[in-house]
Amino acid sequence: MTAPVLQVENLGVSFGVEPNALHAVREVSFSLSAGETLCLVGESGSGKSVTALALLNLLPPRSARISASRLALEGRSLLGLGERELSHIRGKAISMIFQDPMSSLNPALTVGYQLAEAVRLHGPVSAAAARRDALAILDKVRIPDAARRLDEYPHQLSGGMRQRVMIAMALACRPRVLIADEPTTALDVTVQAQILELIGDLKADFGTAVLFITHDLGVVAEIADRVAVMYAGRIVEEGEVSQIFDDPAHGYTHGLLSTLAVANRHAQRLPEIPGSTPRILGADMGCSFAPRCAFAEPQCRTMELHMAEIAPGHVTRCRRAAIVRGAKSEAGHLAHG
């Protein structure tokens, strides 16, 4: 493995004032290498989007408190950088694409203007050269009839095409890191397949590291090199994509994989995870998932937990990892058959 492009250690984000503060992200650590796709998986409220926004310091400064013991891009710490310095990094070294392209594009400006703006913000380029670059990037993201699209407005494009424009804009400065927050969730499956393939190809061409946030395990199975599973603000398990799917070592990961309906099409009933995701108030001991976990014992709720490495590159925050690993996951089982 090459040196990590992005390193995050002990990231925490809380909103509000103690003792009623909401701890949205807790003790999150991961690193990302060039050309690697790390999928951050979790359900709504698990803290995955807040993690991404915190990396770029895009959370409202009045209400969000961000802490970390290390946050570095190519070895250079991002902690303590001013807004000016950060804005040079955003969009140039680290780009982000969002779930809803319509709300991230300016409806009053043409696609070409917005793309050229992205190019010119990060380097001294003439207007004509920026337009040429914009056209080349639109071609790169396979927008048909790109020259005509440059002079169109966002509302004239389909959802899939808008997301391509967002990707084009994000890649305009050849970023080292692309953060994609549910970029295909609002799209139909045939368009999703096109966009996922596009992101994969661009990653291969530019060596961009991708942090891909999703709740969809099917998307994870398609694109991830590594997977970090989040629950109630924490990463509860992380590993290579094959380790996560074949050898889940956390009760939550196991539960998520077994609810994959595709893998259960012949079952009488879908396996359920009872209950619902908790709100994350003050610091707690024990495992947040324990009340819903099929493998939990009483100590899970009270004993302090740490990440433990169970195989090279595979870590879990689960006391019962050995038991969980013993129980076969349905998805892995079917893929073998």
Partner 1 sequence: MAETIPILEGRDLVQHYKVAGNRTVQAVDGVSLTLHEGETLALVGESGCGKSTLSRLMMCLESPTSGQVLLEGKELTALRPAALREHRQRLQMVFQDPYASLDPRMSAVEIVREPLDNYGIGARQDRNEMALSLIRRVALSPDYANRYPHELSGGQRQRLGIARALALRPRVLIADEPVSALDVSIQAQVINLLADIQAEQRLAILFVSHDIGIVAHLSERVAVMYLGRIVESGPTAAVLDNPRHPYAQALLDAVPVHHPRLRRRRTLVAGDLPSPVNPPSGCRFHPRCPLAVERCRSEVPALRSLSGGRQIACHLVSDSNN
Does the protein bind partner 1 through residue 224 (CB under 8 A)?
A: yes
User: 């084009």: which residue's tokens?
Assistant: 168
Does the protein bind partner 1 through residue 166 (CB under 8 A)?
A: no
Does the protein bind partner 1 through residue 210 (CB under 8 A)?
A: no
The distance of closest approach from Cβ of residue 73 to partner 1 in the complex, given in angstroms and rounded to an integer, is 28
The single residue among 61, 218, 282, 313 that binds partner 1, judged by CB under 8 A, is 218
What is the pattern of x (binds partner 1, CB under 8 A) and - over residues 292-321? x-----------------------------
The single residue among 242, 284, 294, 301 that binds partner 1, judged by CB under 8 A, is 242
The single residue among 194, 207, 286, 305 that binds partner 1, judged by CB under 8 A, is 194
What is the pattern of x (binds partner 1, CB under 8 A) and - over residues 118-147? --------------------------x---
Q: Which is nearer to partner 1, 13 or 196 (CB)?
A: 196
Does the protein bind partner 1 through residue 327 (CB under 8 A)?
A: no
What is the Cα–Cα distance from 66 to 127, expressed in whole angstroms? 38
The single residue among 105, 168, 213, 241 that binds partner 1, judged by CB under 8 A, is 241
The single residue among 74, 139, 151, 188 that binds partner 1, judged by CB under 8 A, is 188
What is the Cα–Cα distance from 319 to 217, expressed in whole angstroms? 24
What is the pattern of x (binds partner 1, CB under 8 A) and - over residues 250-289? -----xx--xxxxxxx-x-xxxxxx-xx------------
Does the protein bind partner 1 through residue 191 (CB under 8 A)?
A: yes
Residue 304 CB neighbours (<10 A): 7
What is the pattern of x (binds partner 1, CB under 8 A) and - over residues 12-51? -------------------------------xx-------
Binding site residues, partner 1, CB under 8 A? 43-44, 144, 158-161, 188-194, 196-197, 215-219, 221-222, 224, 241-242, 245, 255-256, 259-265, 267, 269-274, 276-277, 292, 331-332, 334-335
